[in-house]
């Protein structure tokens, strides 16, 4: 029994329980003891009480939006995103918030004339400091990825749960462009990784009026996704698209038959043709938007025929191969020559016969007048 130490069984069990609790708390989103709005002894409505009162805050929209949101419905309160004390899973706090905490709420209680107390004045689980630093409402867009990921997939809550979308997002063209290197698949890190223009969670999902894609009012509802993608700041803006060598999707989509039908047809017509996500999303996840160059993209030249043959679309395999459905290939030399040819031949033909008709008409009218 060299070097052996006898440990009492009770202590062993306690150690195991403690370790389990620590690990559970450290895993972030599942640690209801810390995060649950009410379970922590802190009621999310305390935030709403003040932030929905226009005599106390200038902008009450965030609170009112949240009250109608899917988050509110599921008891996901303000502190999930705004409190710096929330364990951030595998992300360091600085990554999540960029160190941009602000102490407004601490300052407020120092002002004697303030008639209400900031959250830091409330005792939470024996500590007055847990909620004393509330992250600025003006979070950087990119920070939303880290914040949303804490609940939506960075930690594996339930792999089968549809909200577990972070892994899909970081494999997408958007995710690869935004998320810091190392979080996604390193082989897919592109030259654009780290750029700040690509879409992050809050660009598509309102951070306060968060709704599911099944809600017709949600920007992510299938009827609204086209407008979502072609905003000036995203794929419908000349500046951004030119910056990354992409075509303006609004302009180029409008040149296609799909686009014409969607834009100029009735609502029923629009539903009959694909909009952005119908073709570009990965079959398994609409968060996994991939560039056509990705072999897994439905719009990869190798997959186009099969994608268009979807039973909800053409139902038969297209015979078309590589190329752009957006019509940007029309700007090639041959397309230019075709345009040039007809631009040259049509005006003289039309002009010649217009003149002929004019002369013929005046000649015959003159003849009749002379008779």
Partner 1 sequence: MSGEDIERFTKWQIIQHALWAFAFLTLLITGLALKYPENFLSQAVIGTLGMGLRANLHRFTGVIFWIVGIVHIVYYIAIDRGSKPILPSLQDGKDIVQDIKYHLRMSDEEPKYGRYTWIEKFDYWAGAAGSFIIGITGLAMWQSYGGPAGFGGANLLSGLSLQVYNWFRLIHGWEAILAGSVIVMLHFYMAIWRPGNFPMAMQIWTGKMSRHHYEIEHPLELEELDKGKK
Output the smallest distance, CB 341 to partner 1, in A. Answer: 8
Measured between alpha carbons, how far is 242 from 179 in angstroms, rounded to an integer? Answer: 22
The length of the chain, given as a count of residues: 371
Would you count residue 314 as binding partner 1 (CB under 8 A)?
Answer: yes
**Nearer Cβ to partner 1, position 161 or 269?**
269
> Please, which residues have CB within 8 angstroms of residue 106's CB and are 6 or more apart in sequence?
118, 120, 132, 133
Site string for partner 1, 175-194 (x = CB under 8 A): --------------------
Q: Phi/psi of residue 134, each to 5°?
A: -105, 130
**Nearer Cβ to partner 1, position 64 or 256?**
256
Q: Which of 153, 237, 150 is nearest to 198 (CA)?
A: 237
Would you count residue 306 as binding partner 1 (CB under 8 A)?
Answer: no
Would you count residue 329 as binding partner 1 (CB under 8 A)?
Answer: yes
Q: Are 75 and 85 in contact (CB under 8 A)?
A: no
Please give the structure tokens belonging to residue 139: 């979070």
**Nearer Cβ to partner 1, position 116 or 353?**
353
Give the helix/strand (H/E) hosting 101: strand 101-102
Measured between alpha carbons, how far is 28 from 150 in angstroms, rounded to an integer? Answer: 7
Q: Phi/psi of residue 19, each to 5°?
A: -60, -40
**Nearer Cβ to partner 1, position 272 or 293?**
272
Give the helix/strand (H/E) hosting 102: strand 101-102
Output the smallest distance, CB 232 to partner 1, in A. Answer: 20
Output the smallest distance, CB 283 to partner 1, in A. Answer: 20
Output the smallest distance, CB 280 to partner 1, in A. Answer: 16
Q: Are 222 and 166 in contact (CB under 8 A)?
A: no
Among 17, 22, 302, 365, binds partner 1 (CB under 8 A): 365
Would you count residue 14 as binding partner 1 (CB under 8 A)?
Answer: no
Would you count residue 246 as binding partner 1 (CB under 8 A)?
Answer: no
Would you count residue 116 as binding partner 1 (CB under 8 A)?
Answer: no
Among 212, 263, 303, 310, binds partner 1 (CB under 8 A): 263
Burial of 19 per CB tally in 10 Å (0-12, 13-18, 19+): exposed
Would you count residue 335 as binding partner 1 (CB under 8 A)?
Answer: yes
Would you count residue 356 as binding partner 1 (CB under 8 A)?
Answer: yes
**Nearer Cβ to partner 1, position 124 or 299?**
299
**Nearer Cβ to partner 1, position 243 or 314?**
314
C-beta pairs of 95-99 under 8 Å, 24+ apart in sequence = 95/146, 95/180, 96/143, 96/146, 96/147, 96/150, 97/135, 97/139, 97/143, 98/140, 98/143
Residue whose token pair is 């109608």: 68
**Nearer Cβ to partner 1, position 220 or 252?**
252
Among 245, 321, 348, 370, binds partner 1 (CB under 8 A): 321
Binding site for partner 1 (CB under 8 A): 257, 260-261, 263-266, 268-269, 272, 304, 308, 314-316, 318-325, 327, 329-330, 332, 334-335, 338-339, 342, 345-346, 349-350, 353-354, 356-357, 359-361, 363-365, 368
């Amino acid at each position: 029994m060299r070097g052996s130490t006898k440990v009492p069984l009770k202590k062993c069990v306690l150690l195991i329980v403690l370790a389990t609790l620590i690990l559970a708390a450290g895993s972030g989103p599942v640690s209801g003891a810390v995060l649950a709005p009410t379970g922590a002894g802190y009621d999310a409505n305390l935030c709403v009480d003040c932030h929905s009162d226009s005599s106390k805050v200038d902008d009450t929209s965030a609170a009112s939006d949240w009250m109608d949101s899917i988050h509110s419905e599921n008891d996901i309160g303000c502190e999930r995103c705004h409190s710096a004390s929330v364990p951030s899973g595998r992300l360091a706090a600085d990554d999540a918030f960029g160190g941009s905490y602000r102490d407004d709420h601490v300052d407020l209680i120092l002002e004697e004339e303030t008639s209400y107390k900031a959250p830091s004045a409330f005792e939470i689980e024996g500590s007055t400091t847990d909620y004393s630093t509330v992250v600025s409402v003006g979070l950087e867009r990119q920070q939303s990825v880290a914040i949303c990921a804490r609940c939506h997939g960075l930690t594996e809550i339930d792999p089968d749960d549809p909200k577990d979308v972070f892994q899909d997002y970081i494999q997408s063209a958007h995710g690869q462009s935004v998320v810091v290197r190392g979080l996604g698949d390193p082989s897919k890190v592109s030259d654009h990784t780290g750029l700040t223009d690509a879409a992050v969670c809050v660009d598509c999902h309102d951070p306060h009026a968060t709704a599911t894609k099944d809600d017709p009012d949600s920007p992510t509802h299938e009827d609204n996704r086209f407008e979502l993608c072609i905003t000036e700041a995203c794929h419908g803006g000349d500046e951004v698209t030119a910056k990354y060598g992409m075509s303006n999707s609004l302009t180029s989509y409008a040149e296609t038959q799909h686009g014409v039908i969607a834009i100029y047809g009735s609502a029923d017509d629009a539903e009959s043709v694909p909009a952005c996500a119908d073709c570009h999303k990965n079959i398994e996840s609409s968060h996994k938007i991939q560039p056509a160059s990705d072999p897994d993209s439905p719009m990869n030249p190798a997959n186009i025929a099969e994608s268009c043959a979807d039973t909800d679309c053409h139902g038969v395999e297209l015979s078309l191969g590589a190329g752009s459905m957006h019509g940007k290939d029309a700007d090639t030399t041959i397309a230019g020559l075709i345009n040039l040819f007809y631009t040259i031949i049509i005006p003289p033909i039309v002009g010649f016969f217009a003149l002929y008709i004019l002369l013929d008409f005046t000649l015959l009218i003159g003849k009749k007048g002379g008779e």
